[in-house]
Amino acid sequence: MCKRFLLLTICGLLVGQVPVLGQDTKAKVQELIRQLETGNEAAKLTAAVALADEGPGAAAAVPALVAALQDKSEHLKLNGAIALGKIGAPAVDPVAKVLARKTPGDRYYAIWTLGWIGPPAKDTAPLVIECLLDKDEGVRRKAAYALGRIAPEAKTTVAPLIKTLADGNADVRQAASDALSKFGVEAVPALIDALKDDAPAIRLEAARALGNIGSPAKDAIPELKTLFLSDDAKPAQVAADALAKIGKVSIPAVSEGLKHGDAVVRARAVQTLGKIGADAVPILVDALGDKNADVRLGAAGALAPLRISDKMVVLALAHAATDSDLRVRQQCLQALQLLGAGAKLAAPKLVAALKEPDGQTRLQILFALQNLPEAEKEIVPAAAGLLTDTDAQVRQAAVNVLGSQGSAALPHLITALKDGNQSVRFMAVNAIQRIPGDIKDALPALLPLLKEGASFQKRNVVFVLGRIGEPALPSLLPLLKDGDNFVRTSAVDAVRGIGPEAKKAVPTLSDMVLQDPYLLARRNAVLAIAAIEPDKLTDVFARVKKHNDEKVRSSAYQALLFKIGKKGAVSTVLPAKLSLPLFSEAAKDGSANIRLLGVQGLGGLGADAKDAVPMLTGLLNDPDVRVRMQAQFALTQIKGKQ
């Protein structure tokens, strides 16, 4: 329905504005009034929206807009009310008269309109107050809303709104609460009295209103504290929220909850102090030493999101990181971790805490220390010590930490490659990939892992072997014939990365170009030969052009284009004198698809392919339209034309 309304409004705007363009405002308003009174639904909507845009200048339209409040269309009523609200004072008296109508919908939109008009409708307050007792709950709700907007005198309005807090409808009660909060400090005495009411709903909404008033409601703190400390859960929580919004002056009252015998109340107190924020930090710091573990835990949890790196906070969290309760320790360490470099004063205490017997706690200490340069020398030995922890997850996390610690961590990661848990072993493989510099010492421990794990895990081992370079070549050569497509392709990439020192791999790579069943392996083999011994490509492509499988020929030439070249321009990785004959042979192939690849390659060579111009000119008559078009484009590339 809303979508239809928007569509009608838009369509109406497009249609309805045309007749009034170029007219002065008065004439324009008159035309819109006529449209509002006699047009179809879309035209009326258009007129109401346009009149709202005119604001006070559309005062002449008030009677027509008031009449629109009685229309059957909810959309027209709504837009009529908005327009009257923007017109303001001239609409007050005509709209107020609608409050006497018997139809609830008419009264509903009339009151809503008065609320939109705001303070200029102040004198209608007595009529609106009467509507707080209306039989229709929607009218009562809008009456409360309007009273909060038109700003009548508090002495005549607060009391009726207080009574409305007892309304049987929750939405009406909340609207009254919201309205009361608009009166600020003037509503506080009455709201304090409402906090003492026997009805929970009244106490709840009164507390909500006081919270919305904020610090000017400080006189309500004693009564809010009573509600806050009660076992009436929902009102107690609303009181807690109110005290938090009142702020700093409510801290003593909230702090009393920390000593309460009920754990629920203590937790509520800590949470409320956290909501108060920085002003409550000293109390939260003291709470880290409370005798109740739940209070200490809550205090640490409240301090964490505040991310305050004040000396008092950091040292208190560091001290509590050795708390007797595991949950408290972990929460404090998490808070320090969130502080990052701001927790530097905690470094000595955290380093000392690395003797903590619990592996998870030591691990969290390591995470916090990672952000602190002051503790850099302590991280590797501490993480290495965790490699003997009985919990495999702790060992995995320790390996992950070591992976960010540079070459000093390599011996320990090599040890982790021999861990009894497979996940730890392969986590160590991943960590070694991140170690810069020479990692060949890991080779003996890596090789057994080629015989275990899933395909992706073996691939990670192969990547590391590629990093090791020429010493790993004897282990990589058999992998070029591995039965797993991904392992085999990874081995190709690894020897390619080794470069000219991997010449022993070229014969196998050459066979892969023609025989491997996996497309990516064939393509990457061409690229690897180009990186290791490019002159061998001539011999390889001499075999390629004779191969009877078009897919094999295609993958080889695609590799020459896709991997060596970029966006059609062939890279200088392969000299033109080497690549030109290869692409020229492709351009003579019996398959149009291969000829197309050859022509693309020749064009990519640009001026270096000038000797191929006669061939390309002949291909302008090729039976395949793609080849003809590509040949024309290649000739422009070679001749330097755009």
In sequence order, what DSSP letters do the residues of 302-369 get, joined into one string?
A: HHHHH----HHHHHHHHHHTT-SSHHHHHHHHHHHHHHGGGGGGGHHHHHHGGG-S-HHHHHHHHHHH
Tens digit of each residue's pLDDT (9 = 90 or more) over 126-166? 999 999 999 999 999 999 999 999 988 888 999 999 999 99
pLDDT grade for 14, boundaries at 50, 70 and 90: very low
pLDDT at residue number 573: 61
pLDDT grade for 508, boundaries at 50, 70 and 90: very high
pLDDT at residue number 1: 37
pLDDT at residue number 222: 96
Query: CB burial class (10 A; 0-12, 13-18, 19+) of residue 444?
Result: exposed
Q: Which of 531, 593, 609 is CA-nearest to residue 563?
A: 531
Any idea of the CA torsion for 600, 606, 607, 609, to the nearest 10 degrees?
-30
Q: What is the 3-state secondary structure (H, E, C) of 505-522?
A: HHHHHHHHHHHCCCHHHH
Tens digit of each residue's pLDDT (9 = 90 or more) over 19-54? 343 457 888 999 999 999 998 999 999 999 999 999
DSSP 443-494: HHHHGGGGGSS-HHHHHHHHHHHHHH-GGGHHHHTGGGG-SSHHHHHHHHHH
pLDDT at residue number 17: 38
Q: Mean per-residue pLDDT for 486-511? A: 96
Residue 86 has pLDDT above 70, yes or no: yes
301: CB partners within 8 A, 6+ apart: 270, 274, 331
pLDDT at residue number 21: 35
What gap in Å lies between CA 456 and CA 191, rounded to an integer? 67
Residue 553 has pLDDT above 50, yes or no: yes
Neighbours of 250 (CB within 10 A): 27
Residue 116 has pLDDT above 90, yes or no: yes
Which 3 state secondary structure label does DSSP give 435? coil
Residue 461 has pLDDT above 90, yes or no: yes
- The tokens describing 593, both together, are 């698809």
For residues 210 and 202, is the Cβ–Cβ distance under 8 A? no
In angstroms and rounded to an integer, the radius of gyration of the C-alpha atoms of the chain is: 40
For residues 220 and 210, is the Cβ–Cβ distance under 8 A? yes
Residue type, 202: I
* CA distances in angstroms from 203 to 156, 183, 209, 257, 290, listed in the order given: 21, 18, 10, 19, 32
Enumerate domains of the chain plus CATH numbers. Answer: 482-562 (no CATH), 564-642 (1.25.10.10)
Tens digit of each residue's pLDDT (9 = 90 or more) over 266-324? 999 999 999 999 999 999 999 999 999 999 999 999 999 988 888 999 999 999 988 89
What gap in Å lies between CA 210 and CA 221, rounded to an integer? 10
